[in-house]
Amino acid sequence: MPSEPTSFSSESYFATQPPPSTLEHDIAGVRNFVARQQASGRNVVLVTSGGTTVPLELNVVRFLDNFSAGTRGATSAEYFLKSGYAVIFMHRQFSLQPFSRHYSHSTNPFLDFLEIDEDQPSSSFSSSHPQISSSSLTSQTSSEPKAATCPSQIGVTPSKRTHLLEVLTAYKQVHASGTLHTLTFVTVNDYLWLLRAVSQELSALNRKAMYYLAAAVSDFFLPRQKMSEHKIQSGKGSLHIEMDQVPKILKPMVDEWTRNGYIVSFKLETDPALLIPKARASLERYGHQVVIGNDLNRRKFEVVFVSRKVSSTPVRLTTGSEDVFEENWLRIDLNQDNDKEIEEDIVRELVKRHEEWVRKEE
Ligand code: PMT
């Protein structure tokens, strides 16, 4: 008989599920980053991005995955950086990242940006390639081949130069200013442990911290205690798995882990009729600041901000919520402006709202 599903609170979750082995190291890096940003007086936003996995075995061969390429998170992170924020970018390993997202291998392969300049005279790597020094080439043993002769030089396709230069310049500036800190997760367990620890570190910034939860987080998982150690065998026919519910972590996040931080969550639905009621229910239940609703098929050009009306106090309501919440739709016309990214407008609106939130402290 299958065992009963367990209902995990966030306390019982963290008491029974083991932390990822890299947690302490990751958090030391975050602490350092937060201290530097605090000294410089910057606002900091935690952006979560990409989908979490749920492994089915301890020696994992199979897992369930959540839908998300990481576009929303990676794009938003870039606009936050542009707006002067420092960004902790917590993303699913190998999902899209700020800046490099422009050259995703599937939609915009990097090699398509390069061309071989046949007009340049032939030369060896050692003299024409600044990255490969002649000393590294001369240290080769005599049995190794001599420095390869480079038939020509590599250039950037002229039509792509302006864009590449823009992206590269922004990327270099962000690296020089040290305003981007990157963390990775794979499983929902990695995500939950990291989210709690990063939120607690970031709470040192009080109202100057924003939390932008764009990751697509699994709702169900297999606790370690119920996982098969080895690969599940297929010989027994169909597979029945009973999963437990992932604890709703927005509640402890609002009530315990963050101190007056500005918390933005996302609500993804495929039935448009559910978007606003579910977003409102989330605000009622957790008491955070904004839910951004997005429909799966319209998310690139339309989102809705659901929040409490300015005069309303953040009390939990069970009835009459229509009077308490307001919706602001944000739309872009992709026919008119093909290059426009809706994240630019999302971030602009949030920065404005966050500034008002920070001012409340003064
Ligand atoms: O990356 P893209 O391909 O661009 O897609 C972006 C997106 C559609 C995935 C993104 O815009 C989005 O909607 N992300 C949230 C999807 C989701 O998982 O919604 P949810 O209803 O499961 O969760 C609501 C919120 O609580 C989310 O902000 C989620 O990050 C957070 N959450 C949920 C459950 C949980 N246990 N922990 C959480 O942090």
Q: Across the chain, what does the average pLDDT equal?
A: 88
Q: What is the pLDDT of residue 125?
A: 42
Range 130-157 burial, b when 16+ CB lie within 10 A, else e:
eebeeeebeeeeeeeeebeebeebeeee
Residues of the chain with CATH 3.40.50.10300: 1-105+174-233+240-260
How far does residue 256's CA lie from ligand 1's centre (Å)? Answer: 20
The answer to whether 324 touches 297, Cβ cutoff 8 Å, is no
Q: For residue 338, name the pLDDT band (cuts at 50, 70, 90).
A: confident
- Residue 7 confidence (pLDDT) above 70: yes
- 127 vs 292 pLDDT, higher one: 292
**Protein residue closest via CA to atom 32 of ligand 1:** 217
Taking residues 84-92, report their average pLDDT: 98
189 lines ligand 1 (CB under 6 A): no
Which architecture characterizes domain 1-105+174-233+240-260 according to CATH?
A: 3-Layer(aba) Sandwich (3.40)
Question: CA–CA separation, 316 vs 314, rounded Å?
Answer: 7
pTM: predicted TM-score of the whole model, two decimal places: 0.88
- Residue 122 confidence (pLDDT) above 70: no
Question: CA–CA separation, 44 vs 206, rounded Å?
Answer: 10
- Residue 209 confidence (pLDDT) above 90: yes
299 lines ligand 1 (CB under 6 A): yes
CA count, 13 A, side-chain hemisphere, 5: 12
74 lines ligand 1 (CB under 6 A): no
How far does residue 241's CA lie from ligand 1's centre (Å)? Answer: 23
Q: What is the pLDDT of residue 1?
A: 43
CA distances (Å), origin 262, targets 183, 246, 289, 343: 20, 23, 6, 18
* Predicted-complex ipTM score: 0.92
How far does residue 266's CA lie from ligand 1's centre (Å)? Answer: 5
Backbone conformation region of residue 260, classed left if phi is above 0, alpha if psi is from -120 to 50, else beta: left
User: What contacts 24+ positions apart, CB below 8 Å, involve 172-179?
Assistant: 174/81, 174/98, 174/99, 178/33, 178/36, 179/37, 179/42, 179/81, 179/85, 179/86, 179/87
- 6 vs 179 pLDDT, higher one: 179
